[in-house]
Structures are given as structure tokens and as C-alpha cells.
């Protein structure tokens, strides 16, 4: 019986027997099916995943013709994070001409809409100049990041301090107030960047602060789409389900807490979002086969119900990619191949 060389979710190496591999694949899909109340993967799909993990190659890929497009979040921020000291327009050109990127995103290092608002007039000329010298579609992106609206970083009482004191109503009122302010900031910055020629607006890491974060993003997308019907809005999630920090928050009469990707995408569509980027978190103590089978189950359910393009988040710690600053290509390529071949998604 062959030995499978793979990894844990934290990136450390792991060897498995074929029997153990299939057991983990079955357990992963079962976990997602139970949590999301969605169908588990079929025997054929599990067999396909088994084949992908059994391939002896370090890097694997899809058949020619099945390639998908890639969108990137925070590209001009990440190139500085790795210590490449170039200007942001140069960073866009490096991604486009040296890495062959399909799309790019201009962003600020303080990657939230709240701090962007007062400096938006400094950001607009950078975007306008970048658009003259690049070819690929150019997003401007930032995070809703509602955590920046509560004390000590913002004006509103911190719900995480109010809750332990038993002030549930006060905490909920604070969440409601942050939504109102965040929507104003997102719409203000997005309007400016659209006026400067952006090909799209990326709302990234949506839901990081719970359902208020998601609600603010949906509301902002709805306003922008009504004002500019031609605008492209990409909405990329922070986690696999909407954290219920408020518990009773709704948008369009639908309770947001606890929603999984196949439910989130329907609200994104309703808000006028053009491209949806769902997330499945990686469990560091489980194997890559377990994580990938689980992630594929959630993503397949999302792609099956979606009517808009789906670009699954496939980065460090999400989409079955290891929680490691330097994700190993064996895991990244297997996860990408499986996502494209089983989920029939539109991009990564």
C-alpha cells in the first residue's frame, strides 16, 4: 500500500496510508456537511480528491483550458510587507509584467476604509497615474474593519467591554452605530476611487468584526450599485461563517449571524456585488486532506447556488492552504486544482 506524503494545516509534514487518507477526506466533508447543513461530497468527488493527493509530484495543475483568473487582495501592501522597497505603481507593474497577474489591487498600508477617508485625495492621483501605465483591471481595496470604530480606536463604546458587564443592549447599540459610520466611510472612499477610474472596488476581509462588518459591506455595496449601476464590487470574506457578535442583526429582514458561504453569497447578490470571495478557515491540527475536503464541500455548495462569479480565497490559512507565511506549493497547487475541478468556480 502506498504512503501519501502531505501536511498538517500548520504546514508540518505528514505521512498517511491510503486508508488514512480516505478516512480524513470522508471526515472533512462530513464536518462541513453537518456544520453547513449542505450535501457531503459524493464518492466520485472523494475519489478525485484521493487521486489528487496520491499524485507523486510536488506541483500539480489543471488540464489546459480549465485555467481560471486570479484576483488579489492588498497586492501593493504585501510587496512592502516582504521587504521589496518599491513604490505602489512600481508594485503594480511588477505584479503585471513580471508575475503575469490577471488583475491587481491598489491599496494603502493602513488597509481600512476609515483611515482612507481623510487621505482619499492623496490616494486618487496614485490610482489615476497607475491606470495610465498598466493594462490589467485595477481594483482599489480596503477592509470595512468595524473594529476601528470602537474605543480605544474609535468613537463608540467597545461592545467587548460592555458585554462582560451585562450591558447587552448597550453593546448592540454600539454595533448599530458602527455600521452607520462604516457605510459612510466605505461609500465616500469608493465614490472617489470610482470617479478616478478604478475598474473595481474590493471590500476585503468582510465579517472580521462580526455581522456588523458584513451588514455595513452589504449596505455600502447596495448604495454604490444603485448610484453606479456599472460599478464592479468584489466582496471577500474574513472567515467561513458570520460571527454573531450582536446576535440579532439583520439585513433585508435576514439574520446575519451564523451564515455560511452558500447563504452569504445570496445576500451579496442581492446587494449588487459583482464577484464574491468566500472563505473556509484552515484547521492547523488536522491534515491537508481533511481541510481540503471540508473546504471543497463548503465552496461547492456556494458555487452551486451562485449566479455571480466566485473567486474563492486561497491564501495563507484559508481554502485549505496551510497557516504558514510561506505556503508550500504542494498544498497550494493541490488545493487550487481541486477547487477548480470539483467546485467549477470562476477564479481564485
Whichever of 66 and 151 has its CB closer to another protein, that residue is 66
* 169 binding another protein? (CB under 8 A): no
Binding residues for another protein, total number by CB under 8 A? 39
Cell of 243: 460571527
Whichever of 35 and 344 has its CB closer to another protein, that residue is 344
The sign of the torsion formed by the CA atoms of 242, 147, 247, 201 equals negative
d(CA 23, CA 329): 24
Question: Residue 139 in contact with residue 103, Cβ under 8 Å?
Answer: yes
Whichever of 174 and 274 has its CB closer to another protein, that residue is 274
* 327 binding another protein? (CB under 8 A): no
* 133 binding another protein? (CB under 8 A): yes
**For another protein, which residue of 71, 148, 264, 313 counts as binding (CB under 8 A)?**
71
Whichever of 24 and 96 has its CB closer to another protein, that residue is 96
* 100 binding another protein? (CB under 8 A): yes
* 346 binding another protein? (CB under 8 A): yes
* 341 binding another protein? (CB under 8 A): no
- Point out which span in 7-15, 131-139, 257-265, 292-300 binds another protein (CB under 8 A): 131-139
**For another protein, which residue of 19, 43, 57, 65 counts as binding (CB under 8 A)?**
65
**For another protein, which residue of 275, 279, 280, 332 counts as binding (CB under 8 A)?**
275
Residues at the contact surface with another protein, assessed by CB under 8 A: 64-65, 67-71, 96-97, 100-103, 128, 131-138, 194, 196-200, 230, 232, 274-275, 306, 308-309, 344-347
Amino acid at each position: 500500500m502506498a504512503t501519501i506524503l502531505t501536511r498538517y494545516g500548520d504546514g508540518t509534514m505528514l505521512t498517511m496510508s491510503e486508508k488514512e487518507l480516505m478516512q480524513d477526506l470522508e471526515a472533512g466533508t462530513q464536518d462541513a456537511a453537518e456544520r453547513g447543513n449542505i450535501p457531503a461530497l459524493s464518492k466520485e468527488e472523494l475519489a478525485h480528491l484521493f487521486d489528487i493527493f496520491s499524485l507523486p509530484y510536488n506541483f500539480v495543475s489543471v488540464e489546459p483550458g480549465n485555467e481560471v483568473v486570479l484576483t488579489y487582495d492588498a497586492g501593493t501592501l504585501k510587496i512592502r510587507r516582504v521587504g521589496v522597497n518599491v513604490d505602489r505603481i512600481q508594485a503594480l507593474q511588477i505584479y503585471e509584467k513580471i508575475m503575469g497577474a490577471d488583475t491587481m489591487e491598489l491599496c494603502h498600508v493602513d488597509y481600512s476604509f476609515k483611515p482612507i477617508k481623510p487621505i482619499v485625495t492623496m490616494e486618487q492621483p496614485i490610482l489615476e497615474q497607475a491606470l495610465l501605465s498598466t493594462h490589467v483591471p485595477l481594483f482599489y481595496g480596503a477592509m470595512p474593519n468595524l473594529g476601528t470604530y470602537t474605543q480605544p480606536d474609535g468613537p463608540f463604546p467597545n461592545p467587548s467591554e460592555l458585554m462582560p458587564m451585562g450591558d447587552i443592549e448597550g453593546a448592540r447599540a454600539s454595533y448599530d452605530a458602527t455600521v452607520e459610520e462604516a457605510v459612510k466611510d466605505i461609500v465616500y472612499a469608493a465614490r472617489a476611487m470610482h470617479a478616478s477610474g478604478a475598474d473595481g472596488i474590493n471590500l476585503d476581509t468582510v465579517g472580521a468584526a462580526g455581522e456588523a462588518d458584513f451588514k455595513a459591506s452589504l449596505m455600502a455595496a447596495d448604495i454604490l450599485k444603485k448610484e453606479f449601476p456599472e460599478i464592479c464590487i468584489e466582496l471577500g470574506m474574513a472567515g467561513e461563517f458570520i460571527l454573531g457578535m450582536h446576535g440579532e442583526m439583520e439585513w433585508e429582514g435576514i439574520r446575519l449571524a451564523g451564515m455560511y458561504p452558500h447563504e452569504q453569497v445570496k445576500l451579496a447578490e442581492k446587494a449588487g456585488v459583482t464577484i464574491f470571495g468566500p472563505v473556509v478557515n484552515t484547521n492547523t491540527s488536522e491534515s491537508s486532506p481533511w481541510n481540503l475536503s471540508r473546504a471543497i464541500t463548503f465552496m461547492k455548495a456556494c458555487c452551486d447556488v451562485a449566479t455571480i462569479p466566485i473567486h474563492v480565497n486561497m491564501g495563507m490559512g484559508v481554502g485549505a492552504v496551510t497557516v504558514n507565511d510561506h505556503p508550500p506549493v504542494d498544498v497550494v497547487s493541490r488545493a487550487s486544482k481541486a477547487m477548480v475541478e470539483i467546485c467549477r468556480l470562476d477564479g481564485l
